[in-house]
Amino acid sequence: MNVSQRTITPIAWVNGRVRFLDQTRLPSEIVYRETEDELFLAEAIKRLAIRAAPLIGIAAAYGLVLAMNKLTREDLPARRSAFDRAYALLASTRPTAVNLFWALNRMCRTFQKYEHLPIESLQELLLAEARAIHDEDASMCERISVLGAALLPVGAAVLTHCNTGRLATGGKGTALGILETAWEQNKIKHVYIDETRPLLQGSRLTAWELSTLGIPATLIVDSAAGFLMQRGLVDAVLVGADRIVANGDVANKIGTYSLALLARHHHLPFYVAAPATTIDFSLTSGASIPIEQRQATELFWLFDNDTPAAEVDCYNPAFDVTPHELISALITDVAVIESPTPERMLTIRTRLETERTRAETSR
């Protein structure tokens, strides 16, 4: 692979179409797909060609634009029904990441505000909003990276899980963005990457991203994390999040909870990095987060199809929930919340509400 990962964008709006990298083919092949069809895009999200909470939100926003761009000059009821259909389609792709719903709702507010305008204007304003969601995600990544890098000690060996970099966001990433920034600050000694079963986002995506960035990294099986900590090889654990709730509990890729427990046992800091858009203040505890159950075939995708083991019953939750008590700090673009509690989470909520009020006042 000679393509620099820095030159690769996982999603882009190109001449009225959505162009995206099919992440299921990485790292063996770099396959881009283009579509004008929100159905095709929704399928791509479902099958993880487009994946990771921030990127799903961006993709869903563009999906609504695609759907509305099919309209010519329909009346208001037809516009509304087209929007609602596309909204429902995109909302049904993945249940756990809340950025998806956040992005869809933001597009919905834009639609409601401008639904009476001429169709071309409505379409342009929706595209502008989707682009804004995309651009803002890149800025959020920058802020997260700077705030997070400040927490890491010089010479840190950091363990990470799943993929949280350029392939996962509209920018440089969340947890991986922090590692990139900390690396540029000469703070990173080494990164250990969990391979992240079943779909191996660690070995397929994160290993590739870190190698193109020139950051020294070593791949391990997920269950070797404890061994590394026992041997004193890890100084901190740093992961992303798919949904954070009001008390600070975090849903993230399956296996995150075990890492948090191992980190606590070994007195290592356990950091979670995510944009504030990942926070769902409507849920009071992680127990209420819907956890996506994925197909059993994901456990066997690397096997021959005729493997008898494939007849075995499988249970394949895509995420788990880490209680806030195990988290050393939540690193968001809005604030760093150390040892999150329901009370401390209010800092972010208040700041978000202040910003929203200020934005609405200035309009």
Catalytic site residues? 242
From first CA to last CA, the distance across the chain in angstroms is 48
Question: In this complex, which beta carbon is closest to a second copy, that of residue 34 or of residue 325?
Answer: 325
Specify the 3-state DSSP secondary structure of 345.
helix
CB of 24 to a second copy, least distance (A): 14
Binds a second copy by CB under 8 A, chosen from 65, 262, 329, 331: 262
Question: In this complex, which beta carbon is closest to a second copy, that of residue 111 or of residue 208?
Answer: 208
CB of 188 to a second copy, least distance (A): 15
Binds a second copy by CB under 8 A, chosen from 6, 70, 116, 265: 265
Q: Could you say whether residue 317 binds a second copy (CB under 8 A)?
A: yes
Binds a second copy by CB under 8 A, chosen from 225, 234, 236, 239: 225
Q: Could you say whether residue 211 binds a second copy (CB under 8 A)?
A: yes
| Cβ atoms of residues 148 and 188 within 8 Å | no
Number of amino acids touching a second copy (CB under 8 A): 56
Q: Could you say whether residue 164 binds a second copy (CB under 8 A)?
A: no
CB of 341 to a second copy, least distance (A): 20
Q: Could you say whether residue 221 binds a second copy (CB under 8 A)?
A: yes
Q: CA–CA distance from 105 to each of 20, 122, 269 (Å)? A: 22, 16, 34
Report how far residue 9's alpha carbon sits from residue 274's, in angstroms, rounded to the nearest whole number: 19
Specify the 3-state DSSP secondary structure of 30.
coil
Contact region with a second copy (CB under 8 A), list: 49-57, 101-109, 148-156, 213-221: 213-221
Give 320's strand partners. 252
Maximum Cα–Cα distance across the chain: 67
Report how far residue 268's alpha carbon sits from residue 308's, in angstroms, rounded to the nearest whole number: 41
For residue 131, how far is the Cα from the chain centroid? 17
CB of 51 to a second copy, least distance (A): 17
| Cβ atoms of residues 248 and 327 within 8 Å | yes
Task: Determine the residue type at 277.
Answer: T
**Where is 76: in which H helix or E strand?**
helix 76-91
Q: Could you say whether residue 307 binds a second copy (CB under 8 A)?
A: yes
The token pair that represents 161 in the structure block: 């899980």
Report how far residue 192's alpha carbon sits from residue 200's, in angstroms, rounded to the nearest whole number: 14
Task: Determine the residue type at 193.
Answer: I
CB of 82 to a second copy, least distance (A): 39
Q: Could you say whether residue 208 binds a second copy (CB under 8 A)?
A: yes
CB of 197 to a second copy, least distance (A): 4
Question: Given the rule CB under 8 A, which residues bind a second copy?
Answer: 1, 27-28, 192-198, 203-204, 207-208, 211, 216-228, 230, 254-255, 257-258, 261-262, 265, 291, 296, 299-300, 302-304, 306-309, 311-317, 320-321
